[in-house]
Each structure stands twice: as C-alpha cells, then as structure tokens.
A and B are shown apart, each in its own frame.
Chain A
C-alpha cells in the first residue's frame, strides 16, 4: 500500500530524514519507535505534505501513485489520514462543519456522492459513540478548549468518519491516561484493523502497543530505519532502552 524508498528531506535547509525506506502492505499495522529527535514526526509530516517539509530525494508510492505529486488535500482524498501529535485548534469552526466539509471535499475529489446533513449526523453519531465522545463536543469549535485526551479522541472520531485506507498516527498515545488509552486503542482497532487498511503508529512507548498489536516494529534513529522486527522488538526497547538495543553510536548518529 505504501512503499517508501531512500527518502531524504530538509526543513529550513537542515537534513532530517537521511535515506529512509519502509514498506507497508494492506492488512498490516506497523509501529515506528525511536529516540527524541530521530525524525519520527518529520516522517509523518513529510508523508502528509506539510509545507516547508521539503523532499530532497527518494520516493513514496501510495497505492501506485507518487505521493509527493499530490497536494495534502489530494493525499487525504486518496485515503491517507494523518493523526496529529498536537491537533490544531480552529476557533469559530465547529467539528461537525469541519468534518462534513472535509468528507464531502474528499467525496467530490473521488467523484462520489456527497452526504447530506442527516446522513452526515448519523455517521458522526456512530463514530463519536465508538470513541465515547459526547456529540455535544462535536458541536464545539475544532479542538478549542479540549483537554489533551479529548483532542486525541476527537482525532480518532475524525479518522472514523473519514474512513482512510492508511492512517499515520503520530504519538496518538501522548497525553492519554490509561483509560483513555484503552478507548483510543480499541477505536484504532475497530476502525483500521481490516484486510484492506493499514496503520503506521509512531510512538515513544510500548504501552499503546499493548492495545494495538503491531505486526512489525521499526526503530528510527538518525533519519533512517536502523532495525526492524516483530512485536518483541518493542518489548526489548522498553526493557533495555534504545542505546542498549541499538548501540550508543547509532542512537546519537
């Protein structure tokens, strides 16, 4: 579904990703872990097409399409969802308005029929219930006044409504207490664990992986994938630390 080869990028002239390769097939859940500053969030933003995250080399192919030839909104319409570590607040725009415009923009781009008000509200109710988010929250402006946990739940409601093929979730577990983590983990499984979908989880900690079991775990350090393995790799990292598993020189590279 997603094939990244030898990806390099720059932010304000500074190289962050230095030859990253990764392949994700439909039906798979991949986790990327790594020390601070390794380039994890940069990878997510680069795949999402954030301005100023300049691709300087390599390729990313999403369902056979060159991802970097698409604008950010076209990537979303093609089925990519980016979960933000820090969801953005948009005063004056309600979640419902935001999501209905987003979903219908995607549908227009794909040549599908748009949802009318009633159809959309039914869909939103169903997905909000899945994440235990009160519908009243969705009437409020996007992320304004939401706690850290509420923002992450709201992100997962967005994902449920937009129904992407591939979700790249950047530290969706940060700022969540144990109960919220369980709810969010169950939400990710319910929405995304399907034969025709895939997930790339970016996380610092193993604990999210207790609820969303990855098929593959990769370690990102110094702008590259330096080690890949099964779920046991995450446990090794949690127990022994990055320096021990990878060697200190890899971590600081």
Chain B
C-alpha cells in the first residue's frame, strides 16, 4: 500500500479515491502496527478530522494472536481526502470489531477500506459502518473478508448503511468475500437510503423545524456506532465531533 509510485484508480482499493489530493501527501506514512498478544485485548480509536482541503491517510496493520481481541472505533469526517485502512489478520479464537462512521459534505472523499483475514479456525469479526453524505461528498466502504483454507468455523459480518442527504452525494459500498474453508458464516448487508420523508413531515407537524428534525434522524442513524466505546471521555469526544459535523450538513 505504500509503494513509492502513486496508485491509480485501476487498483480496486483506490477506485473511488481522490488521487489529486493523495498526491499532495504521497508517499503516505508507514502503517501503524498493532499487535495484540495471545489472550490479550486492545481498544483503539481514531478521530480523523483533518483540516479543510488537506489529505489524510491512516493505515493500520493489525495482528491478533490466538484468543486476542481488538475493538476499533473510527470517525472519519475531515479533509479533502480522508482515508482509513485496516489490514487485519486473526489467529484462532480471535475477534476483531470495527465500528465506524463517515460523515462528509462539500467535495470531500472519505473512505474506510478493510481487509480482514481469518487465518486460523474459530475466529470472528464484525464491521459496522454508517455513512452520512451531503452536497458533493463521496463516501466509500471497501471491505474484503478472506477466510483461509483451515479457518473453519469463521464467523464474520459486515453491516454497511449509507444515508444520502443530497442527490449529488455518492456512497460506495463494496463488501467482498473470499472463502477457502467450507464451514464458515459470513454475513454482509449494504443499503443506501435517504431521510424518511414521512418521518420528516410527522416531525414538522409537531412543530419541529427542519434542521432539528433532520439532525435528530441523522443522530438516530449513527447512534450505536460509538455505544460501546469504554472510555467515556473518548466516547464523548467522538459523539460531539460527529454531531458538530452533522450540524454543518443539515
């Protein structure tokens, strides 16, 4: 991912990206390595809130030893290009959980790209991504799950939902499964929708002004993404940043 030549859109994982913005910071910094030892658990979070017009790429290479667990929460809202990638390898009985929200407006391109490899038997992973996109923003989730031949009883899911606030915004969702074992459960669902017009009229009929009504519906849409952040201060900062970003879009 960090070869010295600038990637092109021909590469699947860069297909929806903003390569002009990427060029301003290329080559991207080396990936952050997270190794979770056998039986240990780790919690991480990232608030990607780069300045307007900037490009930010955060790559994570995460290795989970047998019986390890990693919970990652990400809020991707800043910059012209904001790209967060996860390359995850799981040992047996390991668990990886990613909860992420993308909230974009203007001409932002915001991406979450994951490649999760279940290398050994009995490991599990869950990925829940909620995107809210307005104006000319593009939000993408590209997620591949790879199950090795010996990784029996793998249980993995991807739940991806996007909400478009304007017809000019774009959501891409591309779950991808590559499975070489035969006793495996992999579930994935992706939806793209708009704000519920019936709900908006119901709220207006009770006197709620449109901005308040939209914000409330959008908060409900992303609610849950940061519910199980253990550190209350971190949770508060993620939720506050998400809400502040939402309020710029309605």
Contacts and interface: CB of A to CB of B under 8 A. Distances in A.
B212 A105 contact: yes
B239 to A, nearest CB: 14
Chain B contact patch, size range = 20 to 34
A108 B210 CA distance: 14
Interface string B190-204: 000000111101111
A216 B213 CA distance: 36
A76 B205 contact: yes
Contact of A73 (B198, B209, B220, B221): B209
Contacts of A102: 203, 206-208
Interface in B197-237: 197-199, 201-210, 212-213, 216-217, 219-221, 223
A51 B207 contact: no
Interface string A84-106: 10011111110001110111011
A105 B220 contact: no
A49 B204 CA distance: 9
Given A88-B198, A92-B223, A97-B216, A105 B205 contact: no
A200 interface: no
A50 interface: yes
B207 A90 contact: no
A28 B228 CA distance: 53
Contact of B202 (A49, A81, A90): A90
A103 B223 contact: no
B210 A73 contact: yes
Interface residues of A, number: 33
B201, B204, B205, B216, most chain A CB atoms within 10 A: B205
A158 B206 contact: yes
A72 B201 contact: yes
B207 A103 contact: yes
A109 interface: yes
Contacts of B201: 48, 50-51, 72, 88
B3 to A, nearest CB: 43
Contacts of B203: 73, 90, 98, 102
Nearest to A92: B220
Interface in A13-69: 48-51
B121 to A, nearest CB: 37
Contacts of A124: none
Nearest to A107: B207
A77 B198 CA distance: 19
B216 A72 contact: no
Contacts of B197: 51
A73 B223 contact: no
A101 B212 contact: yes
Nearest to B197: A51
A72 B205 contact: yes
B208 A101 contact: yes
Contacts of B217: 90, 92-93
B204 A98 contact: no
Interface in A96-135: 97-99, 101-103, 105-106, 108-109
15 contacts: A48-B201, A49-B204, A71-B210, A72-B205, A73-B203, A73-B213, A76-B206, A82-B205, A88-B199, A88-B201, A89-B199, A92-B217, A98-B216, A102-B206, A105-B208
